[in-house]
Structure 1
Amino acid sequence: MNVKVRPARTADAGAISRVVLAALRTSNARDYPASVIERVQLSFSPAAIDRLMQQRRMFVAVSGEVVVGTASLEGQVVRSVFVDPDRHRRGIGRLLMAELEHVAREAGLELLIVPSSLTAQEFYTALGFRLVREHQEGVERTLIMERQLRT
């Protein structure tokens, strides 16, 4: 599979929304109750994605012209890393994270922080992130993880 990572464009908002919603409804739904999934989904409509593009450096992974993943960087915080559930475990998430790390290093950042879902903890741990603390908001549990970029 030939996948490339590029900056997200406004025209990608609908495709990004579809990838995120599919991942939330399949992967994340195993670790979170339906009420949490329903609430989080509201933040990822095409219009909301378009607004997020103005605040973050957002990237997409594309196979041909099809968006198969997304990730963004807001300062030193990794945000919204999602891969099409039908394409999990094919290195797409790693490609996206490598791009975010490259952008962070170019910006002179020394630390990446990711508020991880329970679903993604193993993925981030495999990339060298370590759990710093947990954040509980109602029934939603988020794991705050960090990775030093400079040694």
Structure 2
Amino acid sequence: MLKIDLMRPEELGDAVRLFVDAVHQINRADYAPEQLDAWAPDDAAFRAQLQNKLASSLTLAARDGDTLVGFGSLLGADELDMLYVDPGHLRRGVGRALVQALEQEACRRGSSHLTANASITARPFFESMGYCVVRENTVLRRGVVLQNFLMFKELLNIE
């Protein structure tokens, strides 16, 4: 049974591992290996930085029993910052449940919309959730160029 609630401090290390695995396994058809390494390096400095980022954001955890199977975070009231699902749990409703919970939280915080920077791989998922592409972005991570999309959704009918 999938449960969504706030990420616990003791889960931050598992979330970082999930992030690195998800980026490298799920996105490899759309990004080159050097892009994946720039996006999700597996080194101690990056792991510490990401743990701090998750700890200082509103981060929701998706658990199947006691196992972390995904997470998502909000920045402020209107930016879906991170959304990652364990590669072994794709297409089981984890991402959808996390996005719905984050949208509800954004509404509780007074936002009428939500934005997200979606990877090439995640774009179809976000479109299926009612998000529209605003523009294509080119970002530089560790000297490597990556492409993603600024996505937008009105939240007027979210309960």
Q: TM-score, normalised by structure 1?
A: 0.93
Distance, in Å, in 1 between the alignment partners of 2:56 and 2:65 is 27
Match of 1:48 in 2: 49
CA deviation map 1:99-129 (0-9, x unaligned)? 1011001011011000000000010000000
What residue is the counterpart of 2:133 in the other structure?
Answer: 131
Find runs of 4+ consecutive structure 1 residues off by over 2 angstroms: 42-46
Q: Would the aligned equivalents of 2:20 and 2:41 in 1 still touch at CA under 8 Å?
A: no
Structure-1 residue corresponding to 2:104: 102
Q: Percent identity?
A: 27
TM-align CA RMSD: 1.7
1:13–1:46 contact (8 Å) kept in structure 2: no
Match of 1:14 in 2: 13
User: Gaps (5+ residues) in structure 1?
Assistant: none
* Distance (whole Å) between structure 2 residues aligned to residue 105 and residue 91 of structure 1: 21
Q: Find the residue that maps to 2:41 and give its secondary structure.
A: helix
Amino acid at match of 2:68: V
Secondary structure at 1:109 match in 2: coil
**Residue identity matched to 2:150:** I
Q: Distance in 1 between matches of 2:135 and 2:18?
A: 28
- Tell me if the contact between 1:82 and 1:93 (Cα under 8 Å) persists in the aligned partners: yes
Q: Is the 8 A contact 2:16 2:51 kept in 1?
A: no
- Cα pair 1:16 1:49 within 8 Å, conserved: no
Aligned length: 150
- Structure 2, unmatched stretches of 5+, are none
For 2:55 and 2:5, the matched residues in 1 are separated by: 16
Deviation at 1:43, TM superposition (A): 8.4
Tell me how far apart the structure 2 counterparts of residues 148 and 73 of structure 1 sit (CA, whole Å).
16
Q: How does 1:1-151 map to 2 (within 5 A)?
A: 2-42=1-41, 45-75=46-76, 76-137=78-139, 139-150=145-156
Instruction: Give, in whole Å, the separation in 1 of the partners of 2:153 and 2:53.
Output: 24
Identify which range, 75-84 or 130-139, moves more after superposition: 130-139
For the residues of structure 2 that align with 1:122 and 1:112, how far apart are their CA atoms?
16
Shift in alpha-carbon separation, 1:20–1:91, aligned structure 2, 3 A: same
